[in-house]
Chain A
């Protein structure tokens, strides 16, 4: 996968108070587990899994996002060989699926970031309801996305690879018509 071309490669957009840019390759793992496997999984990850809805935990290069009561998305540096480490936990009951190349990530930043996202995302993205570190699976226009607030005016958006062109164009359309 060394020469994998990302679908949004070499695209970029910046305007007054808004910057939209693709994020490069990441290692992504979709994790399903229950209490019995938490201890060993957390040892492999080197962080505590968030157990509260809409929260995430970041340590060093790795972020764990709460998606559902037994579902997490792990984001980390590309080629961190997380899957090999999970593969060694033979006796535990859990599921870890490498979805690194299923998703694409886009960074949306600037003081108008919330306004641009709210053109397609129906969630309350005010700092009170969606503070820094909050994350959620939701929708952006017609596409399903996972949104993570990395800063007061900075968001990490994950969408499926095949939806990335649609999401990108919708974002640009919103950003240019502010």
Chain B
């Protein structure tokens, strides 16, 4: 099971307690009544849905109940870090990103198992 670090509970907790809540750092326009339908569409519906490094909102629904943000790789599913809501996007080092990259294309997920007994 995936363990997710909750920045409010200050520990790694099982995935089942959490709920994904979409892309992070979406800023609601302050002049909502004045924006054009196109701009509203952009704010309300259009998401990057990026393959790779993503910044997401998560909620520790069955725990402290708080929303927080996370930096995660959407292919390998690995978390780089989580941080409290309202905090700016963290600066991520190349090593941090490299650590969560999925295996290169064509690499088997597991080493093939060769049984010596069958090779007669």
User: How near does chain A come to B72, taking the closest CB pair, in angstroms?
Assistant: 20
* Chain B residues whose CB sits within 8 angstroms of the CB of A53 once the complex forms: 8-11, 64
Instruction: Bits for A117-145, please: 1 = Cβ < 8 Å to B, else 0.
Output: 00000110000000000001111000010
Instruction: Bits for A153-178, please: 1 = Cβ < 8 Å to B, else 0.
Output: 00000000000000000000000000
| Interface residues contributed by chain A, number (CB under 8 Å) | 13
When the two chains form the complex, which single residue of B10, B15, B63 contacts A137, counting CB atoms closer than 8 Å?
B63
| Interface residues contributed by chain B, number (CB under 8 Å) | 15
Query: How far is B9's CA from A137's CA once the two chains are assembled, in angstroms?
Result: 11
Interface residues of A: mostly helix, strand, loop or mixed? Answer: strand
* Chain A residues whose CB sits within 8 angstroms of the CB of B11 once the complex forms: 53-54
Query: How far is B66's CA from A136's CA once the two chains are assembled, in angstroms?
Result: 14
* B-contacting residues, A66-98, CB 8 Å: 67-69, 71
Instruction: Bits for B46-85, please: 1 = Cβ < 8 Å to A, else 0.
Output: 0000000000000000111110000000000000000000
A136 adjacent to B63 (CB under 8 Å): yes
Known contacts A53-B8, A69-B8, A139-B17: A122-B64 contact under CB 8 Å: no
B17 adjacent to A122 (CB under 8 Å): yes
B13 adjacent to A68 (CB under 8 Å): no
* Chain A residues whose CB sits within 8 angstroms of the CB of B1 once the complex forms: 122
Query: How far is B14's CA from A67's CA once the two chains are assembled, in angstroms?
Result: 16
B21 at the interface (CB under 8 A from A): no
* Chain A residues whose CB sits within 8 angstroms of the CB of B26 once the complex forms: none
Q: In the complex, what residue of chain A is closest to B66 when comparing beta carbons? A: A68
When the two chains form the complex, which single residue of A54, A67, A71, A138 contacts B17, counting CB atoms closer than 8 Å?
A138
Known contacts A53-B8, A122-B14, A139-B16: A69-B62 contact under CB 8 Å: no
Known contacts A67-B64, A69-B64, A138-B62: A122-B16 contact under CB 8 Å: yes
* Chain B residues whose CB sits within 8 angstroms of the CB of A136 once the complex forms: 9, 63
Query: How far is B13's CA from A54's CA once the two chains are assembled, in angstroms?
Result: 12
User: How near does chain A come to B67, taking the closest CB pair, in angstroms?
Assistant: 11
For the complex of A and B, the 10 pairs showing the least CB-CB separation, nearest first, are A122-B14, A68-B64, A53-B9, A139-B62, A68-B65, A144-B62, A122-B16, A69-B8, A53-B10, A139-B16
Given A53-B8, A54-B9, A68-B64, 5 extra CB contacts under 8 A:
A53-B64, A69-B66, A136-B9, A137-B65, A139-B16
